[in-house]
Amino acid sequence: MNFKILFNVVPALFLAGCAGNGGGSKDLAPYQNETLSLEERVEDALSRMTLEEKVAVLHAQSKFSSAGVPRLGIPELWCTDGPHGIRPEVLWDDWDQAGWTNDSCTAFPALTCLAATWNPEMSALYGKSIGEEARYREKDVLLGPGVNIYRTPLNGRNFEYMGEDPYLASRMVVPYVQEVQKNGVAACVKHFALNNQETNRQSVNVVVDDRALYEIYLPAFKAAVQEGGAWSVMGSYNKYKGEHCCHNQYLLNGILKRDWGFDGVVISDWGGAHDTKQAVENGLDLEFGSWTNGLDWGASNAYDNYYLAHPYLELLKKGEADEKTLDDKVRRVLRLIFRTAMNTRKPFGSLNSPEHLAAARRIAGEGMVLLKNEGGVLPLDPAATKRLLVVGENAVKMMTVGGGSSSLKVRHECLPLEGIRTAAEAAGCEVAFERGYVGDLRTEFDGVNSGQDLSETRSEEQLIADAVAAAKEADAVIFVGGLNKSRHQDSEGSDREQYGLPYAQDRVIEALSAANPRLAVVLVSGNAVAMPWLDRVPAVLEAWFSGSETGNALADVLFGKVNPSGKLPFTFPVRLEDNGAHAMGEFPGGDSVRYNESIFVGYRWHDAKAIRPLFAFGHGLSYTTFEVENVKADRMSLSAKGTLRVTADVTNTGDRAGAEVVQLYVGDEESTLPRPVKELKGFEKVMLEPGETRTVAFEITPEALSYYDDTKGEWTAEPGAFTAFVGVASDDIRGSVNFTLE
């Protein structure tokens, strides 16, 4: 019998039975009584636990679970990989599948796509939906979302994160966390901190100055903890200041727990702990993994040999570790259990519901970014497009399988070709397909197999020739390419090896552009890519990894059912050398990696060096047009405790309803220390009918003008002159106002 499921279905009966008392709430032990405060319950449970029981709740007992206290009726904790969907069940101590037939989930778009919506309402919908799926599957901790900063286009795990800007990531992560946790499921915000590459990820020591740490790499985590109220945080594999981040005195005990007041649990990444003494003293609360090192080797009775298991117990018994530190860890784990597994008031959740599929489709459609659109190629006009050609392996390759821990098992993934064909044929348009290129033929990851046969007998030359011949006969061509979830592309565990498109896709695109002027390139990726063919292609759409409803969402945008409104959450440089991490810093480094570009990440670097990007941070087009004008401030100076209000009028000047994202940037004109030309400090997504005008308003406080002064170890809002810039991309400013901070 699955006692965890029984506990959640009939919680009151279960608790009463465990207590051995009749069944009335007055007979419950204090820790079982949900009318008492959380801290009262924690202290009561702690007082009843033996030393062995305390240590037992601090480490894994299986691949994804940790022990409770059976004697007291305190249930175990179950984690699941996210952050894009609920991972299928695996064996007790193996990454392979458990063979369940009822664990297919809804795959939601990757977090790059969510960030590209620039819409906190979409983040709330995402968190609510994925939280309901986790709750239905009886999961207590969702291992996500990820908010590590996009430092370089070569990071293989960028697709799991929310872009290059700390303000955007901060505003998008908070609703996700809040809505997940309304389901009685803990969000586990990851990977704390400075996990910006996969190369040597378990050993590399990140060398970064305090300004960059506090201004760029920490704000989204801080927002998730202090505003989102995250119940758990996952440490990262890499080192900082020479200590592994899963037990790092400076990050965990100093910043997270002391400075930010975090009362939740620090969970190790799987196999991220390396030393018992450091794990005990430097802030780790719950150790996960499998086998002894968490990944690939072990001893008999492996879980008891974890660093926070028998080795910790022996230190305690010998008096070489203090119980005060132990009790703090146990309190945190008990809080997590009471908030999740022992919460009898949480909803039941749902899985693969029509509402979740609709949410995935809506988020995907709103996150897709129209990068270029000339000559009216998009949206496709069915009346003028009777013969449509789709080219590209990514039009027929499943993207929910693979990529590392975010790999999922779905009941059905609507592929781009399927979605396009369904929409086109409904409009009387005939659709043909040519593969164009061959990428990765593998279709399996950790026991999940897509069931696809991607074998191909034609040569590269023949594939291109066949695609060109078909393109010459078509009214329009849609090329669906980009990256995939294979090693050295968008995947956990390895970084990209090149900035350009793989599998000779540039050759295919160039040949298609010569064969048919009505060509639209659709990129499926979680990263920026080089586009040497851009001047010969009239339309480019970034479609991301969009989950279960990819094909339908893509068709919605291509045929104009959805007017694109996504904006890039990171910069597309022309060349890799135009990125600060590659121009001035190190990547991937060796034993250490130096962030010499400091605070100048993404658009901050491009602005400082006057480097024109391929596509700027915040860029995204629409099928309609917008004007942003009348940028004003309600005063010319801001007091130390005051608020400055900046307004602008945005008008839909086209003939379609659509949404524009109005963006506020602020620049410091008289700074003692170097500062970016401008930094994002506000944004609002505005939906407008044709001809409609709305006024958007932003409030600027001294806090928004501050920087971290590493010479003093504190945040400083320096008096002087500032400029507020209002625009629709970091390189498309429509108006500005000057003001002073008194």
- Say if 527 falls within a structural domain: yes
What pLDDT score was predicted for residue 546? 98
3-state SS string for 205-270: EEECCHHHHHHHHCHHHHHHHHCCCCCEEEECCCEECCEEHHHCHHHHHHHHHHHCCCCCEEECCC
What pLDDT score was predicted for residue 646? 98
What pLDDT score was predicted for residue 359? 98
Q: Same domain for 674 and 526?
A: no
Q: Same domain for 547 and 681?
A: no
Alpha-carbon distance 207 to 239, whole Å?
9
Mean pLDDT score, 31-55: 97
Q: Same domain for 228 and 377?
A: no
Q: Is the pLDDT of residue 22 over 90?
A: no
pLDDT digits (tens, 9 = 90+) for 346-365: 999 999 999 999 999 999 99
What pLDDT score was predicted for residue 27? 82
What pLDDT score was predicted for residue 153? 98
- Say if 615 falls within a structural domain: no
What pLDDT score was predicted for residue 714? 95
**Looking at the chain, how many residues does it have?**
742
- Say if 395 falls within a structural domain: yes
Mean pLDDT score, 94-109: 93
CATH of the domain at 284: 3.20.20.300
Q: Same domain for 676 and 710?
A: yes
Q: Is the pLDDT of residue 408 over 80?
A: yes
Alpha-carbon distance 449 to 443, whole Å?
6
Q: Write out the two tokens for 432.
A: 């043909």
CB 365 within 8 A of CB 557: yes
Kindly give, in sequence order, each residue whose CB lies less than 8 Å from that of residue 314, ignoring residues fewer than 6 positions away: none
Q: Same domain for 384 and 402?
A: yes
How far the first Cα of the chain sits from its last, in Å, is 67
What pLDDT score was predicted for residue 475? 98
Q: Same domain for 298 and 168?
A: yes
- 341 residue type, one letter: A
What pLDDT score was predicted for residue 296? 62
Query: Could you say which DSSP state residue 578 is in?
Result: G
CB 610 within 8 A of CB 731: no
C-beta pairs of 326-332 under 8 Å, 24+ apart in sequence: 326/54, 326/55, 326/280, 327/46, 327/54, 329/58, 329/284, 329/285, 329/286, 330/46, 330/49, 330/54, 330/57, 330/58, 331/42, 331/43, 331/46, 332/263, 332/264, 332/265, 332/266, 332/285
Mean pLDDT score, 521-542: 98
Q: Same domain for 37 and 18?
A: no
Whose tokens are 């009387």? That residue is 428
Mean pLDDT score, 441-465: 93
CB 205 within 8 A of CB 592: yes
Q: Write out the two tokens for 730.
A: 């970091």
What pLDDT score was predicted for residue 17? 39
Higher pLDDT, 4 or 307: 307
Kindly give, in sequence order, each residue whose CB lies less than 8 Å from that of residue 407, ignoring residues fewer than 6 positions away: 87, 400, 401, 445, 446, 448, 485
Q: Same domain for 239 and 189?
A: yes
Q: Same domain for 106 and 53?
A: yes
Q: Same domain for 313 and 363?
A: no
Mean pLDDT score, 367-376: 97
| Active-site choice (103, 165, 269, 285) | 269
- Say if 592 falls within a structural domain: no
Q: Among 95-109, 295-309, 562-576, name the one with the lowest average pLDDT.
A: 295-309
What pLDDT score was predicted for residue 301? 72
How many structural domains compose the chain?
4
Q: What b/e string do you get for 38-76 counting C-beta neighbours within 10 Å, with b at 16 or more?
A: eeebbbbbbeebeeebbbbbbbbbbbbbbbbbeebbbbb
CB 404 within 8 A of CB 82: no
CATH of the domain at 672: 2.60.40.10
- 587 residue type, one letter: F
Average pLDDT, the chain: 94
pLDDT digits (tens, 9 = 90+) for 250-265: 999 999 999 999 999 9
Query: How wide is the angle at C-alpha 363 spanned by C-alphas 361 and 369, nearest 5°?
Result: 105
**pLDDT tier at 447, thresholds 50, 70, 90:** confident
Q: Same domain for 6 and 43?
A: no
Q: Is the pLDDT of residue 3 over 70?
A: no
- Say if 287 falls within a structural domain: yes
Q: Same domain for 535 and 646?
A: no
What pLDDT score was predicted for residue 297? 61
Structural domain of 712:
625-741
505, 539, 569 - which closes a domain: 569
Report which of 672, 674, 666 is spatially closest to residue 702, judged by C-alpha positions: 666
Alpha carbon separation from 630 to 384, 637, 696 (Å, rounded): 40, 19, 11
CATH of the domain at 540: 3.40.50.1700
Segment holding 81, helix H or strand E: strand 77-81
- When computed from its CA atoms, the radius of gyration of the chain, rounded to whole angstroms, is 26
**pLDDT tier at 615, thresholds 50, 70, 90:** very high
- Say if 148 falls within a structural domain: yes
- Say if 651 falls within a structural domain: yes
Alpha-carbon distance 368 to 358, whole Å?
16
Whose tokens are 């130390």? That residue is 640
| 140 in catalytic set | no
What pLDDT score was predicted for residue 93? 83
**pLDDT tier at 718, thresholds 50, 70, 90:** very high
Query: How wide is the angle at C-alpha 142 spanned by C-alphas 301 and 150, nearest 5°?
Result: 110
Rounded to the nearest angstrom, the gap between the alpha carbon of residue 546 and the centroid of all alpha carbons in its chain is 13
Report which of 630, 108, 579 is spatially closest to residue 367, judged by C-alpha positions: 108
Q: Write out the two tokens for 187.
A: 């969000």
pLDDT digits (tens, 9 = 90+) for 674-696: 999 999 999 999 999 999 999 99
What pLDDT score was predicted for residue 294? 58
What pLDDT score was predicted for residue 409? 96
Alpha-carbon distance 485 to 404, whole Å?
8
- Say if 613 falls within a structural domain: no
Q: Is the pLDDT of residue 533 over 80?
A: yes
Alpha-carbon distance 618 to 565, whole Å?
11
